Amino acid sequence: MVRASINYLDRAVQAPYQYLCEPPAGEAIDNFRDDVVPLDVEDISGVPLPEQHARGWTTEQAGFQIVQGFGAPQTQAAWAEGRWDDDEWLRKQYYDDVTELLRKELGITSTFIFDHTVRKSGTEHLPDTPQNRKPVPRAHCDQSRRAGETRIRKHLGDDVLARVQRGELHCQLVNVWRPLRGPVEEFPLAVADSRSVDRGEDGGKPDWIASELRYETWSGETLLIHHNPKHQWYYYKGIDTDKSIFLKTYDSKTETRTPHTAFVDPTSRPDAQPRWSVEVRVLCFTETQPAAQ
C-alpha cells in the first residue's frame, strides 16, 4: 500500500472540455480544475493471479484484469528485441497478438482494433503525437456510452450498432496496456475497481462526467472522474513487459468501466527510467444471437 495523490476533476467544473487542436483565439486549451486527493493505492503485485480473479479483479467485475504473457511466444521474443519501436510491426504483428490474447482470456467472438497510443515519459522535447504521448496524470475513462456507440458506428456501421443495441451482439471496448520496457517504476498506472464507483444506475449521480474532446472537424467524448471516498485504487508495482492490463472502457450491457490514471509512486527511485508503454484500443464482440439472414 502506498499513500499517493490522485488528480480528480473538481465538481465545480460543469461542462469540461479539451481542445486536441489549436484552440480559437482567446479560448483556453481546456477548462479543467484538479481536485487533488491523497489516498491509499494498493499494490497487487504480490497477489497470485488465481486470487486476483477470486477477488473479482476481472474485466467482467472490476473492469480491469492483469494478464500474464503474450498471445504468441514469438511476440515476446520480438518485444525483447525492441520491435515495438516500429509502428508498422505494432499494427501488423502486435495487433494480431492482442486479438489472440483477448480471445483466450475473454472468450470473445471477434475484434476490431481501431488505434493504439504509445506513451513515453521523459520525451517532453519531442512533439506530442500518437507515437509519443505522455502519461495522463488525471483520473479518467476513455469512453462514455455515447462515445462507445459512436466508435461502433464509425468503424463498423449502423447495422452492427443496431445489433448491439438489440442485444444480439455484446460489445466491450477494452484497452490492452503493456509496458514497452520494464519494470515500470515512474508514473505507474493506477486503476479503480468499477464496483467502488457510483455509476448512476440507481437514479443517483455517477462519479463521472462527460468531457468534450474538440478536434478541428469533429468532437468526441471521454469521462473525467469526481472523487468519492468509496473508490478503491490498485496498481501493480514494477510491472514488466511479460504482463498486460486489460482496461474496460465501455460495455454495451452494463456500466462497468475502469477509471485509471498515471500517478507518482512515492516509493519509486528518483533516477528510475521514464515509463514507456503502449495501449491498444479494441472493440470486442461476442455473438449472443445469430445475425438475421
Question: Has residue 255 been placed in a domain?
Answer: yes
Whether the predicted pLDDT of 268 surpasses 90: yes
| CB burial readout 205-236, b (16+ within 10 A) else e | ebbbbbbebbeeeeebbbbbbbbeeebbbbbb
pLDDT bin (cut points 50, 70, 90) of residue 244 is very high
Task: Name residue, grid cell 469540461.
Answer: 16
pLDDT for 76-88, tens place per residue? 999 999 999 999 9
Question: Has residue 118 been placed in a domain?
Answer: yes
pLDDT bin (cut points 50, 70, 90) of residue 201 is confident
Domain count within the chain: 1
Q: Which of 123-132, 147-156, 180-189, 243-252 has the lowest mean pLDDT?
A: 123-132
pLDDT bin (cut points 50, 70, 90) of residue 183 is very high
Q: What local confidence, expressed as pLDDT, does residue 124 receive?
A: 56
Q: Helix, strand, or coil here: 31?
A: coil
Question: Has residue 25 been placed in a domain?
Answer: no
Residue 98 belongs to what domain range? 2-11+58-287
Give the residue-averaged pLDDT of 20-39: 96
Whether the predicted pLDDT of 63 surpasses 70: yes
Question: Has residue 86 been placed in a domain?
Answer: yes
pLDDT for 125-169, tens place per residue? 444 544 456 799 999 999 999 999 999 999 999 999 999 999 999
Q: What local confidence, expressed as pLDDT, does residue 198 receive?
A: 96
Question: Has residue 251 been placed in a domain?
Answer: yes
pLDDT for 226-238, tens place per residue? 999 999 999 999 9
Average pLDDT taken over every residue of the chain: 94
Question: Has residue 279 been placed in a domain?
Answer: yes
Whether the predicted pLDDT of 245 surpasses 80: yes
Residue 183: CATH number of its domain: 2.60.120
Give the residue-averaged pLDDT of 3-27: 96
Question: Has residue 38 been placed in a domain?
Answer: no
Q: Helix, strand, or coil here: 52?
A: helix
Q: Long-range contacts of range 103-110, CB-CB < 8 Å, 24 or more positions apart?
A: 104/71, 105/65, 105/67, 105/246, 106/59, 106/172, 106/174, 106/246, 106/284, 107/286, 108/172, 108/284, 108/285, 108/286, 109/285, 109/286, 109/287, 110/284, 110/285
Question: Has residue 228 been placed in a domain?
Answer: yes
pLDDT for 9-18, tens place per residue? 999 999 999 9
pLDDT bin (cut points 50, 70, 90) of residue 200 is confident
